[in-house]
Structure 1
Amino acid sequence: MERRNYNPMNDYLFKFVFGREERKRITLSFLNAVLGREGVDELQDITFIDRDIEPQFAEDKLSRLDLYGVASDGSRINIEVQLVNLQHMDKRTLYYWARMYQSIRRGDSYQKLDRAITINLLNFAMLPQQKPHTVYGLYDIQSGHRLTDDLEIHFIEIPKFQVKSIKELKRLERWMAYFSNKLSEEEMEELAMSETAIREAIQAEHVFMQDEIERWQYEQREKAVRDYISGLDASWQEGMERGMEQATVKNLQNLMRQMDLSPQQAMEALRIPPTERKKYQLLLDR
C-alpha cells in the first residue's frame, strides 16, 4: 500500500510508531520540535506510561489518551490524536489536562506538582488563528504575565498546514508535512532524507502495515471513524428536514389563523406537493 493511501494519524498506527520503547528517538524528535527545545534544553528521554483515561462522556468514545509519558525534565506529556471534531474540545482538553496535572499524593507539597503538557494533533481546523500551531498557557489578560509554565496546551491543526518547498521547512513544519500526507513520493523521499526521525517513522509504518493483526486494528479504527462521520451526516440531514417541517407547519398555522384558511387552502397557498399533504395534515392535527 502506498503511503498516501493510508492515514498516519490513525491512533493505532500513531501509537505503534510513536509509543514504543524501541522508537523513543522518533517521539523525542517530534516532542522537541513541538516544544521548540534545542541544544541543552532538548528532552533526552521519556518514560511511556500505559494510562488510557476511561471515557467520561458519550462523545469521548472516539477520544483517547493516545500517548502519555514522563519526560527527562519531569514534565508529564499527553499527545492526543483527534481525527474528527467531537465539539467542546477546549473544555475536554482542560478536563484531561487537570487530571494529568494531579500528580501528587496526599500529604505531598504542591511544589512537587509536575509540569503538564498537552499536545492535540488535529485532523481538522478548530481555532480562529490561521497558523497551524497554537500554544496556550496561563496568562494575565492585561499585562500578559505568565503565572506558571505548569500549564501548556498545544494545538496542531494539520489541515491548516500549507505544503511548500521541503528545503524551506522548519523542524515542526517537517513533522506537519509528515502527518499531512499531502506530499508526492518524491517529496516524501526528500522529507525522509531531511530528518532522520521521520525516515525511521516511515520505516516503522511499513513494518506496521505488513503485520496482519496491526493492520486489522487500523482498518477497524478507520471504519469506526467513517461510521461516526456517516452518522453525523445522517443526523444533520434529519435535523435539517425536521427543521424545515417545523417551519412549514408554523407557516401553515399562521396562514390558517391570520387569513382564516382551511389546512388544504393553506397548503395550496404554500404550494406543498399533494404527496406531502397527508404528512402535514397529521403534523397540524397533533
Structure 2
Amino acid sequence: MNPLTDFGFKKIFGEEPNKDILISFLNEMLPERHTIQDLQYSRNEKLGKTEVDRKAIFDLYCTSTTGERFIVELQKAKQNYFKDRSVYYSSFLIQEQAKKGDWDFRLEAVYTIGILDFVFDEHKNEEDYYHIVELKDHRDEVFFDKLKYIYIELPKFKKQEKELETNFDKWLYVFRHLAELDKRPAKLRDRIFEKLFEVAKIGNFTAPEQEAYEDSLKYYRDIKNIADTSHQEGKEEGREEGREEGREEGLKEGLKEGLQKGLELGSEKQQIETVLSMHKIGLEIKMIVQVTGLAGDRIIKILNENKA
C-alpha cells in the first residue's frame, strides 16, 4: 500500500489498534523530554470561535498522556502558503488550552509535523531534508521551546536499503518505497515495522477497504501528475518568456529582468493550468484551495474565464 495516499496514511497511522506505529514514528523526531508513552486521537476538525472564523482540518491530531499536542500532516503537492497554513493550524492547538477562571497561561508543547512529497522552493538547492523550526531571539537562542514545526522533504531522501543507519532513516525509506516492496527488507525486521507491513498488505483489506484505497490511489496519482506537469510547463514557458524579454532589451541586465518576468508569467499560467486540470477530474473548489493555496475567489475567476 502506498503510505502517501490519504487512505494509506490514515490506515497505518490513524487507527487506534495501530497507534503504537504512530508513537514509534513521532518519537524518532521528538526530544527525550517529550518522549511519548501513550496518546489518544482527537477530532481532526477545529472550528473558530465565531461563524466567520475559518475551520482547520488536520490529517491527524493527537495528544500524549503528558499533554503534548501533535498535528501530523501529509502534503502531496506544493502549496503556495503551506508554512502559513501550518502556523494557522497550530494556533488552534494553542487556543484550546485556555482555561476558564483563574489561569496562569501555562501551555503544553505543540508540534506540527509536515511530511512533504515535494521540496520547498527556497530549499531546492540544499541537501537537508529534515527541518526543525523554533521561535528564537536575536542571539539565535530558543525563546520558546514549546512550539515546533518539523518538515520532512521526502523527495530529497535518496538512501537505499544498505545505507539505512538509524530508525529515522528506516521510516523515511518506508515512506519512499513501501509501495514498491513485495517483501520486508532485512533492515526492517524490527517489531514495529513487522506490524506496519502487516497493516499495509492490500490482500488483508476488506472489499470496501480495497475500493477506498483504489480511489485514494487514483486521487494521489492525479494530483501528482497535475503537479509534475504544471510545474514543468511553467518552468519551460517562463524560460521562453524570459529569453524573449531579454532579447528585446539586448543587454545583460535586461536578460536578467526578462527571465524573472518570464518566470512570473509562467507561474501565472501554471496556476491556471493546475486549477483547470483539477476541476476537470472532478475536484471541488475547497479541495483545489487546499492543494494549491490559491484563494477561493481566484479559483472561481479562473474557472469562469475558461469555461468551455
TM-score by length of 2: 0.64
1:52 aligns with 2:45: yes
CA distance in 2, matches of 1:162, 1:136: 23
Pairing 1:42-121 to 2, within 5 Å after superposition: 42-53=35-46, 64-103=57-96, 104-107=98-101, 109-121=103-115
1:221 aligns with 2:216: yes
Identity of aligned residues (%): 23
Question: Could you say what secondary structure the match of 1:73 adopts?
Answer: coil
Q: Which residue of 2 aligns with 1:10?
A: 5
Superposed CA offset, 1:207-250 (max 9, x none): 676222222222222323333455554698599879989x99xx
CA distance in 1, matches of 2:38, 2:95: 22
Structure 2 runs not aligned, ≥5 long: 48-53, 248-308
Question: Could you say what secondary structure the match of 2:45 adopts?
Answer: coil
Superposed CA offset, 1:162-191 (max 9, x none): 214547511211111111107975984213
Q: Structure 1's 52 and 20: CA in aligned 2 closer, same or farther, altered over 3 A?
A: same
Q: Structure 1's 34 and 191: CA in aligned 2 closer, same or farther, altered over 3 A?
A: same
Pairing 1:115-134 to 2, within 5 Å after superposition: 115-126=109-120, 128=123, 129-134=126-131
Matched pairs, number: 234
Contact 2:160 2:173 in 1 (8 A): no
Pairing 1:1-286 to 2, within 5 Å after superposition: 6-37=1-32, 42-53=35-46, 64-103=57-96, 104-107=98-101, 109-126=103-120, 128=123, 129-140=126-137, 142-166=138-162, 168-181=164-177, 185=181, 188-193=184-189, 195-206=190-201, 210-231=205-226, 233=229, 237=233
State which structure, 1 or 2, has the greater radius of gyration over its C-alpha atoms: 1
Superposed CA offset, 1:117-169 (max 9, x none): 011011112252422211001001x3122111121010011111121454751
Q: For 2:25, give the aligned amino acid.
A: F
Tell me how far 1:80 sits from its aligned partner.
Answer: 0.4
Q: Which runs of 4+ in 1 moved over 3 A?
A: 105-108, 164-168, 182-188, 225-245
